[in-house]
C-alpha cells in the first residue's frame, strides 16, 4: 500500500504571495489532518478534514485554509504569506471512522518544506 | 489537552535498552497515552499507545504507572535507526475535539551511540 504523499516537497515563495500544498492520503483513508512544524513552536495541529468537511481546527489565523475532495485528497492554502510561515507542513491520514479509536495511528507524509523570503 | 513532560534529550548505546520517561500528572480518565517518533527528515510515525495496562508491540513496550501519572517507553535493544525525537502525547478519545488531532510537546531527542 502506498503511503501518504505530499507535493511539492520543497517550495520557495515571497512575502504576500499565496501557496497551495497537496496531500494524497493512504488509499481508503477518509481523514486528513494538517500540521505545521517550526523550530520554535514544534508540531502544531492546523485542521482535520473528513468526508470533505472540516471537523476540527487548531489555533491558526484565517489565512490558513484547507479543503478535501471526494477522493479524500486534501489541499491546504496559505494566503498573504509571512516570513513566519516558513515551516515544514505535514499531513497525516487515518481511516477516520466514527469510532475515535481508529485515530490511534496517524500515518504521516514526508512533508512540504515551505520557505518564505 | 492535558500536558506531558519529557526530558529534552537522552543518550544510549547501540543494543542496550532505552527507557524514555513521560510525566502526565493531569491525565484524565479518558486520555490514552500515545507515543510517536520522528526520524531525521521524516514525518512522525506511530510507535505505541495504551490506556491503563502495559502494552507491547514489535517496536517497543509501554509501561504505565498504576496511577497513570507517568509512563515509560521501552526500546529493548536500541539501534542506530532508533535515533529520533520521541513524543509522548495524551489523547482524549471521548470527545469530538480529538478528531484527527495530536497535540505534540517538545519531545525527547534520543541519540544512539555505536
pLDDT exceeds cutoff 90 at B60: yes
**pLDDT, averaged across chain B:** 92
pLDDT digits (tens, 9 = 90+) for B74-89: 999 999 999 999 999 9
State the Cα–Cα distance between residues A7 and A74, nearest whole angstrom.
11
Please say whether the dihedral angle defined by the alpha carbons of residues A92, A98, A102 and A103, taken in this order, is positive or negative.
positive
pLDDT exceeds cutoff 70 at B6: yes
Quick one: pLDDT at residue B10? Answer: 98
Grid cell 517550495 is found at A11
State the Cα–Cα distance between residues B79 and B81, nearest whole angstrom.
5
Give chain A's contact residues with B (Cβ, < 8 Å).
Answer: 4, 31-33, 35, 42-45, 48-50, 55-56, 58, 90, 92, 94, 96, 100-101, 103-111
Instruction: Give me the percent of chain A exceeding a pLDDT of 70.
Output: 92
Comparing alpha-carbon positions, the chain B residue that sits nearest to A5 is: B43
The pLDDT of A12-39, averaged and rounded, is 96
The model's confidence at residue A105, banded by pLDDT at 50, 70 and 90, is confident
Chain B contact set for A32 (CB, 8 A): 100
Report which of B64, B103, B101 is spatially closest to residue B87, judged by C-alpha positions.
Answer: B103
If one compares A21 and A104, the residue with the highest pLDDT of the two is A21
The pLDDT of A10-38, averaged and rounded, is 96
Q: Are B29 and B77 in contact (CB under 8 A)?
A: no
Chain B contact set for A44 (CB, 8 A): 104
Report which of B24, B25, B22 is spatially closest to residue B36, judged by C-alpha positions.
Answer: B22
DSSP state of A95: -
**pLDDT, averaged across chain A:** 93
Quick one: pLDDT at residue A98? Answer: 60
State the Cα–Cα distance between residues A90 and A59, nearest whole angstrom.
16
Q: Are B43 and B92 in contact (CB under 8 A)?
A: no
State the Cα–Cα distance between residues A81 and A70, nearest whole angstrom.
28
Give me the residues paired with residue A11 across strands. A114
Amino acid at each position: 500500500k502506498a503511503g501518504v504523499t505530499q507535493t511539492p516537497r520543497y517550495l520557495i515563495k515571497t512575502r504576500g504571495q499565496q501557496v497551495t500544498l497537496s496531500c494524497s492520503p493512504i488509499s481508503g483513508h477518509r481523514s486528513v489532518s494538517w500540521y505545521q512544524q517550526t523550530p520554535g513552536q514544534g508540531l502544531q495541529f492546523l485542521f482535520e478534514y473528513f468526508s470533505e468537511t472540516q471537523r476540527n481546527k487548531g489555533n491558526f489565523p484565517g489565512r490558513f485554509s484547507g479543503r478535501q475532495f471526494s477522493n479524500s485528497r486534501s489541499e491546504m492554502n496559505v494566503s498573504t504569506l509571512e516570513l513566519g510561515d516558513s515551516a515544514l507542513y505535514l499531513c497525516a491520514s487515518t481511516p477516520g471512522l466514527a469510532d475515535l479509536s481508529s485515530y490511534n495511528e496517524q500515518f504521516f507524509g514526508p512533508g512540504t518544506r515551505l520557505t518564505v523570503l | 489537552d492535558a500536558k506531558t513532560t519529557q526530558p529534552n534529550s537522552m543518550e544510549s548505546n547501540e543494543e542496550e535498552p532505552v527507557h524514555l520517561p513521560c510525566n502526565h500528572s493531569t491525565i484524565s480518565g479518558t486520555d490514552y497515552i500515545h507515543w510517536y517518533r520522528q526520524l531525521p527528515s521524516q514525518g512522525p510515525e506511530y510507535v505505541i499507545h495504551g490506556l491503563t495496562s502495559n502494552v507491547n508491540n514489535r517496536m517497543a513496550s509501554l509501561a504505565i504507572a498504576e496511577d497513570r501519572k507517568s509512563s515509560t517507553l521501552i526500546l529493548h535493544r536500541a539501534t542506530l535507526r532508533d535515533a529520533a525525537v520521541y513524543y509522548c502525547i495524551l489523547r482524549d478519545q471521548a470527545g469530538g475535539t480529538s478528531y484527527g488531532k495530536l497535540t505534540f510537546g517538545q519531545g525527547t531527542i534520543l541519540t544512539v551511540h555505536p
